[in-house]
Amino acid sequence: MKFKTNAMCMGCVAAIRRSISDITNPADWEFDLNSDDKTMSYIGSEPLSDDVADQVENAIRVAGFKISRL
C-alpha cells in the first residue's frame, strides 16, 4: 500500500509517524522523500486491512498533512 504525501523533511516524517502511532506501528511505514510524490509505503509483515489504512489516512489528515492513496 502506497500513499502520496506532502512531507518535505524528516521533521514532517517524524510528525506523521507520531500521529499514527496509536493505530499502527510507525516502523512499518517507509518514506521516500526523494520521490516526486513523497511516498509513504507500508512495509509491515502483517497484511494491512483497508479499515486500518483508512484510519491511518485520516489521522495524518487530522495532523494537518496532505495525503492521497496511490
Q: Is 62 in the site for other proteins (CB under 8 A)?
A: yes
CA distance 57 to 69: 8
Contact (CB, 8 A) for 56 and 23: yes
Least distance between other proteins and beta carbon 15 (Å): 3
Residue 56 C-beta: closest distance to other proteins, Å: 13
Contact residue for other proteins among 64, 68, 69, 70 (CB under 8 A):
64
Binding site for other proteins (CB under 8 A): 6-12, 14-19, 62-65
